[in-house]
Amino acid sequence: MINTLFISSVSACLELENDLPFNSGKSYDVYLDGKKLYSGDTNVFSVYGLVPSREYTLEVSGFGSIGFKTADESCALNVKDFGAKGDGITDDTLSIQTAINCLPKNGRLYFPEGTYSTAPLSLKSHITLDISENAVLYGSADPSRYPLIPGTAKDMVTGEEIHFGTWEGNASAMHQALISAEYAEDITIIGRGTIDGNARNGGWWENVKQREIPRPRLLFFNRCKGVTVHGPTIQNAASWQIHPYFSTQLSFLDLSVNAPKDSPNTDALDPEACDDVRILGCRFSVGDDCIAIKSGKIDIGKKFKQPASRHVIRNCLMQYGHGAVTLGSEMAGGVKELTVERCIFYHTDRGLRIKTRRGRGRDAVIDGVLFGNIKMDGVLTPIVINMWYNCCDPDRYSEYNTTREALPVDDRTPYLGSFTFRGMECKNCHIAACYCDGLPEMPIGSVTLEDMRFTYAEDAQKGVPAMRNNAEEMCRAGMYFDNVKKLKISNVSVEGCDGDPLIMHNVGEMIGE
């Protein structure tokens, strides 16, 4: 069976319905109105170069056919008609921004083959950017071309703070992203082209801890509604590649997001305090977390009480990041209704990574999380639930965040509810199969593991399973649980571990084989 995920005026994204992670299990041919387009083997695939407001029949050999109609558009304009050269030498910033400013509602701006050198661009509502194959939007290497955006600015009449810039969970001045939208809606970026931040040539990856102003993201959407990014390759951001912030109705489809493995803080996709997010058929290989779902630190969490909610991650491939799918650590607004399924994690440090700590606050509730039908290979520690995360905050080495004694539950105490992991094969593990460490005053609510198999690499490397103070190195460890109220284990095998396959401390109730 074939399902449509997204139809624009000139492209379509579709998904094969099966029980296989990421790949379809066999090669297939894609036909459009009887003409063969290409062969593929992934569950999510796309077609481009369509005509607006036209009906099509698409067939996938061995999987059936489906009909669809492309969307309407008011006009399609070529960016070169506004003076853009696309020669990789000319500064095309003003030409591109002028074209965006002039584009009518429901209009599409087309980038033909070429390299368009540009400083930051601002998008507006009801437009589409169409970046064709072999077209590259190439970020300026001059840091002075990236304007500063304030964290907040006051309304001159009411005195209300209006939020703009952010970094790691706080309102903060920042450099403008290469492509950004603020308080806008109905924005689409499509095509097989590339958006390249050119961070190495701009020196953005050097001396990162000494920078007073946070580095720019590549794509940033602040308080936007109805944003779809379909098809392009996103790469080499100065920091996070894609950062939607307090936005809703977001779709990221059939993308490739890349950065060198040693590039600092180059998370692929970090939706923060967002609602209704789809991440489908994407390929990630970056220098930090592949996907990090966030909802701000305690000031932001208390002020807006906006959880990250209704996120679906499916048929994605995550490679070489610190974490494949991460929750936190900036999650003071909480995370709810998250489903991750039919994905492949390859050689990430951690697979399913949940990180929080004392100080995130009583609104920092993560609950109702399901991970299922996932294959991992070469992941150091497949499952990590860590309530002692010790990175990024000034008080991370304080007695408050290091003592293993139970502290009073107060406004700073986070909560982790129920987590279900099922149908997972994790081979060539290194450090531990599973590491779950709750707070003594606020244990993890419940952890369920069903139909899972863990095996270890022959050359397994030792290391710490989670970023926490006083962490002890492990190697080929089994499943470790500390401060968990309820643990349920069913049909789970741990093969080849050194020591006990199940290590428990302070587990309230244990149900399982």
Q: Which residues contact 207 (CB under 8 A, 6 or more apart)?
A: none
Mean pLDDT of 64-74: 98
Reported pTM: 0.97
Q: Which residues contact 243 (CB under 8 A, 6 or more apart)?
A: 177, 217, 219, 220, 221, 270, 271, 272
Tokens, residue 72: 């309407």
Q: Rounded to whole angstroms, how far apart are CA atoms 431 and 377? A: 13
Inform me whether the pLDDT recorded for 321 exceeds 90: no
Task: Output 402 or 144, whichever has higher pLDDT.
Answer: 144
Q: Which SS3 state, helix, strand or coil, does residue 298 take?
A: helix
Inform me whether the pLDDT recorded for 468 exceeds 90: no
Inform me whether the pLDDT recorded for 197 exceeds 70: yes
Residues 224-241 pLDDT 10s: 999 999 999 999 999 999
Residues 441-452 pLDDT 10s: 999 999 999 999
Q: Would you give the distance in Å from CA 257 to the centre of its chain?
A: 10
Rounded to whole angstroms, what are the CA distances from 162 to 152, 167, 214, 222, 248? Answer: 5, 16, 19, 11, 18
What are the extents of the domains in the chain? 2-69, 73-288, 334-513
Residues 271-316 pLDDT 10s: 999 999 999 999 999 999 999 999 999 899 989 999 999 999 999 9
pLDDT band at 27 (very low <50, low <70, confident <90, very high): very high
Q: Give DSSP secondary structure letters for 309-359.
A: EEEEEES-EEESSSEEEEE-SSBTT-EEEEEEEEEEEES-SEEEEEE--TT
Q: Rounded to whole angstroms, how far apart are CA atoms 484 and 449? A: 13
pLDDT of residue 173: 97
Residues 353-400 pLDDT 10s: 999 999 999 999 999 899 999 999 999 999 999 999 987 777 777 888
* Number of other residues whose CB lies within 10 A of the CB of residue 420: 16
Q: Which SS3 state, helix, strand or coil, does residue 101 take?
A: helix
pLDDT of residue 390: 86
Tokens, residue 9: 């005026």
Q: Rounded to whole angstroms, how far apart are CA atoms 229 and 243? A: 12
pLDDT of residue 291: 97
Q: Which residues are 391's β-sheet partners?
A: none
High-pLDDT (> 70) share of the chain, %? 100
Inform me whether the pLDDT recorded for 139 exceeds 80: yes
Q: Rounded to whole angstroms, how far apart are CA atoms 205 and 43? A: 35
Residues 151-193 pLDDT 10s: 999 999 999 999 999 999 999 999 999 999 999 999 999 999 9
Nearest CA to 179 out of 267, 134, 240 is that of 240
Inform me whether the pLDDT recorded for 513 exceeds 70: no
Nearest CA to 137 out of 185, 191, 188 is that of 191
How far apart are the two ends of the chain, measured CA to CA in Å? 37
pLDDT of residue 42: 98
pLDDT of residue 120: 98
CB 147 within 8 Å of CB 178: no
Strands (E), 33-178: 35-42, 44-47, 55-60, 64-69, 75-78, 87-91, 107-111, 114-118, 121-122, 127-131, 135-139, 148-149, 152-154, 161-163, 166-167, 170-171, 174-175
Q: Which SS3 state, helix, strand or coil, does residue 513 take?
A: coil
CATH superfamily entry for domain 73-288: Single-stranded right-handed beta-helix, Pectin lyase-like (2.160.20.10)
Q: What is the CATH number of domain 2-69?
A: 2.60.40.10
Nearest CA to 26 out of 52, 60, 51 is that of 60
Residues 421-441 pLDDT 10s: 999 999 999 999 999 999 999
Q: What is the CA radius of gyration of the chain?
A: 23
Inform me whether the pLDDT recorded for 10 exceeds 80: yes
pLDDT of residue 109: 98
Catalytic center residues: 288, 322
Q: Which residues contact 321 (CB under 8 A, 6 or more apart)?
A: 267, 268, 284, 285, 286, 287, 288, 289, 290, 348, 349
Residues 87-101 pLDDT 10s: 999 999 999 999 999
Inform me whether the pLDDT recorded for 482 exceeds 90: yes
| Average pLDDT value for the chain | 96
